[in-house]
Chain A
Amino acid sequence: MRVRIPGLYIVLGLVLAGLIHIIAVLTLPMLAPKNAHARLAALGPANTMIELPAAAPGRQVMPMMAPDVRYAFCRFDLANGPVRLKAAVPDDLWLIALYTPEGDNFYSVAGADMKRAEIDLVITGADQTVEEAGADAPESSDEVVVVNSPVTEGVALIRAPLVGPSRSARAEQALKTTSCGPYTKAG
């Protein structure tokens, strides 16, 4: 006696497996409960610069953090207007990166690529404009970088890679002088 699995069931099974596969891949970025954005949101309020403690065993906000990079982040929320991020960048290695909650790195700038040692970054939402480059102060337009964000909420993450074994105190000190907050014209 032979047990035959009809071909119809095999086809049905494969189509169903494919559907499940596609749905799982597309919904996972939104459903991942412990993504980086959720981990950082637990650490403090939005629109504030928060320094992460140096990664050490049992003390890591995110998995696989670099032990020789010091981090500070600002969870920006553009619901009440643009957000301004200011930092005095002490060396070429610094990296400032903006992320969506799903982890898309939609903007980044390295210390080496900046014209000035001080970065003044204004993050704007979809229909927000910044009049920083006004007629009364034309030169200020070069100094302010305006980044249009595809999301209302996201994360700005500053990385300060260490240039030597005993440089962590210096990097941490430099990160303390960075700021993040609601944008006002006066700055």
Chain B
Amino acid sequence: MDADRLTSALTNLPFVLSSSPTAGREDEVTHSMRDLAYFIGTFAVALLLGIGSVWYMIEYGSPLTTTKVGPWASWDSEGKPDADPYTRAHVARSGRLPLSSTVARYFVARTDSNGHTLSSSCEYSIEGSPLNARWWSLAVYDEYGGLIDNPTARYSFNSEELLRHSDGTFRINLASTSRPENWLPSGAEDQTLILMLRIYSPRETDSLGIGLIPPERLPKIERKSCE
């Protein structure tokens, strides 16, 4: 009896039913039901694919819109009125008002030079060379782009205030507790970090007038230790 019920239940499943010889009308109903399921499924997958790909290309960029150098990423046409739709959507969604890339370049890092996500529970050494620009600044933010509370009210280092070595190179120590040299505090709270390097009025430009920063000039972010 149990077996009988199981068989009848099975024959009601569309895929099984369609393979068994049945009356034409029932066949038609299951076919249209299956078509409907396919259609809804197709639509759901399309929605997921369409929105997912847009979200990724706007949030993280793609080779079409961004330059990636080690851990740093920069939107090539950020702020430009003739920018591509992805860049314009990125800017609108970001809530920022970036200067056109012909006037300033912004580089964002979410990982260290080895690709590990930046975290306030780790200590980093950020080493760089002089940048050929009128002014630049390296700031640290939480994952939402907010500044991080710390006792020294230090949120960034800029080209005017940074302590440098005699050859012009510098090191910034990103750590939660006090460090010598240039200490950029990452806060007491355990969280992921974002670094932003803003470079105003770069002196070199490419053929489109976009500020040019030689890749080797961008700072290296080395993880020293983690708690």
Question: Digit string of B57-100 for contact with A (CB within 8 Å is 1, else 0)?
Answer: 11000000000000000000001110101101101111111111
Question: Across the interface, do A57 and B50 meet the contact criterion of CB distance under 8 Å?
Answer: no
Q: How large is the interface on A (under 10, 10 to 19, 20 to 34, 35 or more residues)?
A: 35 or more
The answer to whether A145 has its CB under 8 Å from any CB of chain B is: no
Question: Digit string of A30-51 for contact with B (CB within 8 Å is 1, else 0)?
Answer: 1010111001000000000000
Residues of B within 8 A of A24 (CB): 50-51, 54
Once the chains are docked, how many angstroms separate the CA of A105 from the CA of B105? Answer: 13
Question: Across the interface, do B160 and A104 meet the contact criterion of CB distance under 8 Å?
Answer: no
The answer to whether A17 has its CB under 8 Å from any CB of chain B is: yes
Residues of B within 8 A of A13 (CB): 42-43, 45-46, 49
Once the chains are docked, how many angstroms separate the CA of A97 from the CA of B97? Answer: 9
Question: Across the interface, do A29 and B200 meet the contact criterion of CB distance under 8 Å?
Answer: no
Residues of B within 8 A of A104 (CB): 79-81, 83, 88, 91
* B20 nearest CB neighbor, chain A only: A1
Question: Across the interface, do A25 and B79 meet the contact criterion of CB distance under 8 Å?
Answer: no
A28 vs chain B, min Cβ distance (A)? 4
Question: Across the interface, do A39 and B95 meet the contact criterion of CB distance under 8 Å?
Answer: yes
| Residue from B79, B95, B145 in contact with A35 in the complex, judged by beta carbons closer than 8 Å | B95
Question: Across the interface, do A36 and B42 meet the contact criterion of CB distance under 8 Å?
Answer: no
Residues of A within 8 A of B94 (CB): 63-64
Residues of B within 8 A of A157 (CB): 97
Question: Digit string of B127-143 for contact with A (CB within 8 Å is 1, else 0)?
Answer: 00000001101010100
Question: Across the interface, do A28 and B92 meet the contact criterion of CB distance under 8 Å?
Answer: yes
Question: Across the interface, do B99 and A68 meet the contact criterion of CB distance under 8 Å?
Answer: no
Residues of A within 8 A of B88 (CB): 29, 102-104
**Chain B at the A interface: mostly helix, strand, loop or mixed?**
mixed
The answer to whether B198 has its CB under 8 Å from any CB of chain A is: yes
The answer to whether B158 has its CB under 8 Å from any CB of chain A is: yes
Give the residues from 54 to 93 in chain A that come closer than 8 angstroms, CB to CB, to chain B: 55-58, 60, 62-69, 92-93
User: Among B96, B148, B194, which residue has the most Cβ atoms of chain A within 10 A?
Assistant: B96
Question: Digit string of A134-156 for contact with B (CB within 8 Å is 1, else 0)?
Answer: 00000000000000001000010
On whether A62 and B148 interact (CB within 8 A), knowing A104-B88, A106-B81, the answer reads no
The answer to whether A16 has its CB under 8 Å from any CB of chain B is: yes
Once the chains are docked, how many angstroms separate the CA of A9 from the CA of B53? Answer: 19
| Residue from A21, A92, A99 in contact with B97 in the complex, judged by beta carbons closer than 8 Å | A99
Question: Digit string of B143-171 for contact with A (CB within 8 Å is 1, else 0)?
Answer: 01111110001011010110000000000
Question: Across the interface, do B103 and A20 meet the contact criterion of CB distance under 8 Å?
Answer: no
On whether A63 and B137 interact (CB within 8 A), knowing A24-B51, A25-B89, the answer reads no
Once the chains are docked, how many angstroms separate the CA of A105 from the CA of B141? Answer: 24
Residues of B within 8 A of A56 (CB): 147, 153, 155
A134 vs chain B, min Cβ distance (A)? 30
Question: Across the interface, do B100 and A108 meet the contact criterion of CB distance under 8 Å?
Answer: yes
Once the chains are docked, how many angstroms separate the CA of A54 from the CA of B153? Answer: 12
The answer to whether A182 has its CB under 8 Å from any CB of chain B is: no
The answer to whether A163 has its CB under 8 Å from any CB of chain B is: yes
Residues of A within 8 A of B (CB): 1, 3, 5-6, 9, 12-14, 16-21, 24-26, 28-30, 32, 34-36, 39, 55-58, 60, 62-69, 92-93, 95, 97, 99-100, 102-106, 108, 110, 112, 150, 155, 157, 159, 161-165
19 additional A-B pairs beyond A19-B50, A25-B86, A108-B99, beta carbons within 8 Å, are: A1-B15, A6-B38, A9-B39, A17-B45, A21-B49, A25-B58, A25-B85, A39-B95, A64-B194, A67-B147, A69-B137, A102-B88, A102-B91, A103-B79, A103-B92, A105-B103, A161-B135, A162-B161, A165-B161
In the complex, 12 of the A-B residue pairs with CB atoms within 8 angstroms, ordered by the A residue number, are A1-B15, A9-B39, A14-B49, A25-B58, A32-B89, A36-B95, A62-B95, A64-B196, A66-B156, A68-B158, A93-B200, A110-B201
